[in-house]
Every structure is written in C-alpha cells, then in structure tokens.
Amino acid sequence: MLHTLDAPAVRTWCQLALRALGQAREEIDALNVYPVPDGDTGTNLYLTVESAAAEVESRFADPAARPAPGLAEAVRAMARGALVGARGNSGVILAQWLRGTAETLAEGGGGAAQLRAALQRAADSAYQAVAEPVEGTLLTVARVAAREAVRAGDGLAQVADTAYRAARDALRHTPEQLAVLAENGVVDAGGRGLVAVLGALADAVAGQQPMGPVALRGDVVAGCETHVRPPGPGHPAFEVIYLLDAPDEALPALRARLGALGDSLVVGGGDGLWNVHVHVDDAGAAVEAGVEAGRPHQIRITHFAEAAARAGTAAERGEREERARAVLSVVSGEGLAELCEQAGAVVLHADPDRRPASAELAAAVRRSAAREVVLLLNDPELRAAAGAAADQLREEGVRIAVLPTRSPVQGLAALAVHEGGRRFDEDVVAMTSAAGATRYAELAVAEGESWTMAGVCQAGDVLGLIDGDVAVIGTGLEEVGASVLDRMLGAGGELVTLVLGEGADRALADRLVAHVRHRRPEVDAAVFHGGQESAPLLIGVE
C-alpha cells in the first residue's frame, strides 16, 4: 500500500484505468443516451485514456538513455496524452479532469492532502471546461467524489477509496438528476467511465486487483439499444472536434462564438494547447472560429445521420457486394510472421515490449485496403484495443470480425481453415471454430517468487501455462513441456503443434515429439520456429 503517489504508481493507474475501461467499453457505449445517443462514449473514453497511458509509458522507455521520471513529469505526461487523444464530449471532459488532477499533484506532491486537493481541482476544471454544465453527468460524479474525499481519513489509500466509493454512489443517483437517463433506465455513461478511472486509482494505491463491474441499480444495460442512432429533431447535425494552438486570451471569444453556433461545447486544455468539441449545424463555421482564435489541427467532423447510416447498413452492403478480404494477424517473432504470411495473412509485427494500440490496429487494417477483414489478435490483452479499432473501422464502411484468439497457435489453426472464396460469415465461423477447438499452452521462466494456481514458484523456475493459467512448475523446459503435453492430451487430441521461441533448441522440440509418439502414437506433431521472445515454447493441441 502506497503512502505517497509516485511516477510508477501513475503508470500503474493509467494501465489499470485502460484495462477497466476496456472491460467496460461496450457496457458504457450501451448506456450512452446523453447528450447524443450515439453509442460511443465508452469507446471515446477508452481512446482518451489509451493516449494518456501511451504518453506516460513513453517516459519510462529506454531507461538506459534517460533518467526515470518523477511524479510531476508523469502526471503532466498523463494530462497531455489525454488532451491530445481526447475523443467526444466525455473524452474532453475526462481529459480536463485529468489535467486538473495533474496540476495539483505536479505542484504539491503525492500525499493524501495533495490528492484531496487534486480531486477538487479536477472537478472544478471539468465544470469550467463545459459551456453549460448539466447535473447527473460525469461532472456530478466528479464533484461528489471530491467532496467526500475531504472527509476521508489521513491515508492516501483511504482518500482514493473514499473518492471511488462516493463516485460509485453518485453514479447510481444520476437518473434522479437527468430525465433522459430515467426515461431510458440507465445511469450516465460518462460518469460510469469516471468510476472506472477512480476505481483504478484506488487499486493502484492499494495494490489490489482491478475493479470489477459496478453493481448498478436494476438492469440498466439490457434494455438499452446499442446501435448508433441519429439525434432527434432539432439537434445539431455535426460533431466537430479539433486541437487548437491558441493563447489563453483568445478563448473567451472562441467560446462565445461556438456557443452561439451550437451546443455540447467543451473546451479543455491550457498552456497554449486546447481540445475543442462542439455540436453544430454549420461545421465550417466551427472550424473558422478556430482559425480566428489560433491554429486548429487534427480536425474531425462527424455527420450524425451519415454515421448512423454507415453503421446500420455496413453488413447489408457486405452481403451484396464482392469485396477483397484480408486476414490481419498480430504476431511477435519473424518465424511466426513468415508462417502467417505463407498462410495468406497480412501481418502486424507486435513489439514484444509494447502491445499495439487501437490506432495501430486500425491503421494496419486500412493499409490492407480490404473492405472485409478478419482480425486475429493472438493475445487476450488486445481485445479492448481491437474492439475500439473495430468500431472506428465499421463507421468507415469496413466489415470487420475480431477473432479473440488468445495465442498464436490458435491463430495458426484459424488460418489453416481460412478460405477467401467463402462468404464472409461462413469464413469467420469456420476460423472461429478452428481456433476454439485448439487448446494452447506455453512455457515461461519465472522472474521472481510468486503465488500461482500450481503453488509458489521461485526465480528461474520453468512454468507451464495451460489456457493462460499456471498448471505445472518445474526446473527444466523438457520436464515441464512433457508434463504439459500429457495433461493436454489427457483430454484428447489429434495434432500437436510446437512453436520454438527465440534461442530455443530444436532438440527440445524433437525430444517432446518423441515423448508424444511414445505415449500417444496416433497423434501427429508439427514443429515450427516462431522466434517469439515472449515464450521459449508455444504448444497447441487440436
């Protein structure tokens, strides 16, 4: 348990917040009925925090070349990343909330008193960013969390936990404050996202597991539509968002002009860089207002009705048109990449030390120039990023199926049955079935003492993980590999696939193949050199 926030804790906070929002992304999208029921608040919040986490992570990169960051540098990086990557109304508000938090922590340190002050400043900053604040939203949740944090005990963990619990309670009451939420039987989507972020902060401080789903009053998700819906009559037609380089003194005039043009105006930032979000009928005028104030860039304009039409008819278009299809496989290791390419996939090479973000996944799909795409993740930690990328691509008319393969051996099994000449849905079903019928395992070397499902391991022990859980602990790769294979084949199997990692000895695979043939002569075996750094050996059983 931490007594003072430091840079590593901020890094952990961002990672846990990104994971929590990734898990809740679809739920939050389904809750999204205010200010526009466009079903993207969860995705926008995820992308905002993803950008914040990436900016913080960059400060820890290449420790040999630069000193480790301090608290001030880490929180400022978090705030800047969120501002630059903020998406949508709630994303800009959350970015401003993070900026308010960062300003206080950077100035005063990371103790309990500083966190109380930071939460108050964050709530104030979020309110100030919104032209017309509305209660029953993220703003209310932030204010209640800050108010209750003042009453918490002296410890940092107590302050963080009190703020989280107060936010969760405030979220439950949002339908009582905003009629549209009560009418739809949901809580506020942006507020739900802030609860996830505050829960991640409490977890980072306390060293606990990431927060689970918030227990909401009633069935608030099941009755909520999840497709993109155009705004009702009288609502502005366009969402305009851009980054703006402008001096502070230019902002009052900009706010006044944009406020007259439309609604849902949020302007967050400071120190010459701003994120501007507004809903208007005249998108050109909104951009011109930015030009008069400074230099707008990264301009994004969304026509609500067209976005809804694209999302609603993408599947229909895919049925009636002949389209080029691509399978995109995310792998690490030259051998694995070559295997996937030989099987007809487009490969996205993943850095072994950093998983690709949603923007990288989306860019790889765009580079494939295909209108139908099957995405093989080969890593369970990529599901949230892939889901966010897929939502963006579907709005662009790309028909995409994300196969949440958890290991490269499942991806290889899916590729083995891929047929581009089949209908898209049939191909996806066949590939999904093949991946699902493949049990996967890997060998790893423990870096330190740790509790596992199979007992306590020590540094240097060889771990055998089956379907993601540690099942065997031993001292040698061959010993553990043989034990893992025996366990997996005990449930049946016709084909064993062994993928050697970087530096792994081919003799290891040969001895394991001999072991399989001695125990189960009816089982076939195939050996490949994958070159992955993550594990000396990957195992698949079909």
Q: Where residue 345 sits, what CATH number does that domain have?
A: 3.40.50.510
Q: Tell whether 259 is covered by a domain.
A: yes
With bands split at pLDDT 50, 70 and 90, how would you rate the model's confidence at 316?
Answer: very low
- Domain check: are 64 and 170 in the same one? yes
- Report the C-alpha gap between 371 and 519 in whole angstroms: 47
Distances (CA, A) of 76 to 11, 12, 90, 269: 12, 15, 20, 12
- Report the C-alpha gap between 111 and 2 in whole angstroms: 9
Q: What is the DSSP string of 72-99?
A: HHHHHHHHHHHHHH--HHHHHHHHHHHH
- Report the C-alpha gap between 344 and 497 in whole angstroms: 19
Q: Tell whether 130 is covered by a domain.
A: yes
* pLDDT at residue 414 in the model: 93
- Domain check: are 166 and 28 in the same one? yes
pLDDT in tens, 172-219: 999 999 999 998 889 999 999 999 999 999 999 987 544 443 333 333
pLDDT in tens, 247-282: 999 999 999 999 999 988 999 998 899 999 999 999
Q: Where residue 515 sits, what CATH number does that domain have? A: 3.30.1180
- Domain check: are 292 and 347 in the same one? no
- Report the C-alpha gap between 461 and 445 in whole angstroms: 6
The sign one gets for the Cα dihedral 405, 357, 6, 42 is negative
Using a CB cutoff of 8 Å and minimum separation of 24, what contacts does 150-156 make?
150/116, 150/120, 152/112, 152/116, 154/112, 155/3, 155/112, 156/2, 156/3, 156/4, 156/5, 156/110, 156/111, 156/112, 156/115, 156/205
With bands split at pLDDT 50, 70 and 90, how would you rate the model's confidence at 317?
Answer: very low
- Report the C-alpha gap between 39 and 279 in whole angstroms: 16
* pLDDT at residue 308 in the model: 54
Tokens of 104: 């206080």
- Domain check: are 48 and 157 in the same one? yes
* pLDDT at residue 503 in the model: 85
- Domain check: are 282 and 188 in the same one? no
Tokens of 266: 């949020």
Place of tokens 């306590």: 456
For residues 495-499, average pLDDT:
94
Task: Assign residue 31 a region (left: φ > 0; alpha: ψ between -120 and 50; beta: otherwise).
Answer: alpha
| pLDDT over 50 at 230, yes or no | no
Q: Domains in the chain: how many in total?
A: 4
Helices (H), ranges, 276-404: 283-293, 304-320, 334-342, 358-367, 383-395
- Domain check: are 66 and 180 in the same one? yes
Tokens of 44: 């926008």
- Domain check: are 203 and 286 in the same one? no
Cross-strand pairs, 537: 443, 500
* pLDDT at residue 340 in the model: 92
Q: Which residues contact 390 (CB under 8 A, 6 or more apart)?
A: 375, 400, 402
Q: Where residue 23 sits, what CATH number does that domain have? A: 1.25.40.340
Whether the Cβ atoms of residue 535 and residue 331 lie closer than 8 Å to each other: no
Tokens of 112: 């309990």
- Domain check: are 36 and 126 in the same one? yes
Q: Tell whether 220 is covered by a domain.
A: no
The domain boundary, picked from 436, 464, 481, lies at 436
| pLDDT over 50 at 155, yes or no | yes
Helix H or strand E encompassing 106: helix 88-108
- Report the C-alpha gap between 448 and 92 in whole angstroms: 41
With bands split at pLDDT 50, 70 and 90, how would you rate the model's confidence at 13?
Answer: very high
- Domain check: are 153 and 22 in the same one? yes
The closest of 24, 197, 11, 219 to 96, measured between CA atoms, is: 197
- Domain check: are 55 and 101 in the same one? yes
Tokens of 46: 């995820």
Tokens of 421: 């000449």
Q: In one letter, which amino acid is 383?
A: R
Share of residues in the chain with pLDDT > 90 (%): 59
Give the HSE-up count for residue 296: Cα atoms under 13 Å, Cβ half-sphere: 23
pLDDT in tens, 396-452: 889 899 988 999 999 999 999 999 888 898 999 999 999 999 999 999 999 888 888
**Among 138-142, 350-354, 364-368, 462-466, where is mean pLDDT lowest?**
350-354
For residues 292-310, average pLDDT:
78
Task: Assign residue 278 a region (left: φ > 0; alpha: ψ between -120 and 50; beta: otherwise).
Answer: beta
- Domain check: are 236 and 118 in the same one? no
Whether the Cβ atoms of residue 19 and residue 49 lie closer than 8 Å to each other: no
Q: Tell whether 183 is covered by a domain.
A: yes
Q: What is the DSSP string of 481-493?
A: HHHHHHHHHTT--
Range of the domain at 331: 322-436
Q: Tell whether 314 is covered by a domain.
A: yes
* pLDDT at residue 208 in the model: 57
Distances (CA, A) of 22 to 92, 108, 389: 18, 31, 12
The domain boundary, picked from 165, 184, 215, lies at 215
Tokens of 181: 């939420």
For residues 498-507, average pLDDT:
90
Q: Tell whether 363 is covered by a domain.
A: yes
For residues 26-48, average pLDDT:
85
Q: Tell whether 1 is covered by a domain.
A: no
Tokens of 407: 């290991």
Whether the Cβ atoms of residue 76 and residue 103 lie closer than 8 Å to each other: no
With bands split at pLDDT 50, 70 and 90, how would you rate the model's confidence at 472?
Answer: very high
- Report the C-alpha gap between 50 and 17 in whole angstroms: 9
Q: Tell whether 487 is covered by a domain.
A: yes
The domain boundary, picked from 274, 294, 320, lies at 320
- Domain check: are 316 and 171 in the same one? no
- 3-class DSSP assignment, residue 361: helix
| pLDDT over 60 at 239, yes or no | yes
